[in-house]
Chain A
Amino acid sequence: EPEVTQTPSHQVTQMGQEVILRCVPISNHLYFYWYRQILGQKVEFLVSFYNNEISEKSEIFDDQFSVERPDGSNFTLKIRSTKLEDSAMYFCASSEWSYNSPLHFGNGTRLTVT
């Protein structure tokens, strides 16, 4: 069964550094999402992406964050200058249609900012 893949599974970085989290959504899916989960807290929406542009973003998704689909398969989340509070599990998800179709999640990237 097709799946969403995320790399790396764990990333450790120093405060102020830039990180890029990578995702390969399911190939025939049109909608892509990034979510994050701070340890012990609920999953939070960051951004949705459709037709090569951001469709919706939350208040968390400030100027430090950006997303890109650099080619036909990858979907990336960049954090420009990491802060301690960016430490979280970041999940990529994709769906065939919009929220009215099932979401398929990757296994997540655990980001640790020191």
Chain B
Amino acid sequence: KNEVEQSPQNLTAQEGEFITINCSYSVGISALHWLQQHPGGGIVSLFMLSSGKKKHGRLIATINIQEKHSSLHITASHPRDSAVYICAAPMYSGGGADGLTFGKGTHLIIQP
């Protein structure tokens, strides 16, 4: 069963700073998810990636399948980026409708 670790658990930064959140997992997978959880509790999917890099606006996600490691970057951070960012990976390396195992999340606060 996959184990997902994230770091840091908490991150406070100033507006405009470049943010990096790291995720590592224990079992080889075909795709990894990055999610954002708002203070109200809602969860939004940011990225699903299986190799290389994906970019969406100021968000960039990278993954190294060999090292079982992924990073989420935020460029030119803004207070509205304040949220919990969660990494999630399939529970098992097999196919089918496997559920995801989630990291504990990184609580990001961007101060103006």
Please report the C-alpha to C-alpha distance between residue A107 and residue B105 in the assembled complex, in whole angstroms: 18
Size band of the A side of the interface?
20 to 34
Binds A, one of B16-24, B60-68, B75-83, B89-97: B89-97
Please report the C-alpha to C-alpha distance between residue A33 and residue B105 in the assembled complex, in whole angstroms: 20
Kindly state whether residue B99 has any CB partner on chain A within 8 Å.
yes
Contact between B43 and A99 (Cβ–Cβ < 8 Å)?
A: no
* In the complex, residue of chain A having the shortest beta-carbon distance to the beta carbon of B90: A99
Q: Count CB-based A-B contacts (< 8 Å).
A: 78
A75 to chain B, nearest CB (A): 13
Please report the C-alpha to C-alpha distance between residue A98 and residue B96 in the assembled complex, in whole angstroms: 6
Size band of the B side of the interface?
20 to 34
Please report the C-alpha to C-alpha distance between residue A107 and residue B98 in the assembled complex, in whole angstroms: 21
Please report the C-alpha to C-alpha distance between residue A35 and residue B31 in the assembled complex, in whole angstroms: 19
19 A-B residue pairs with Cβ-Cβ distance under 8 Å, sorted by A, are A37-B41, A42-B102, A42-B104, A42-B105, A43-B88, A44-B102, A48-B99, A56-B98, A89-B41, A98-B97, A99-B31, A99-B98, A100-B30, A102-B33, A103-B45, A105-B35, A105-B43, A105-B45, A107-B42
Binding site for B on A (CB under 8 A): 31, 33, 35, 37, 42-50, 55-56, 58, 89, 91, 98-105, 107-108, 110
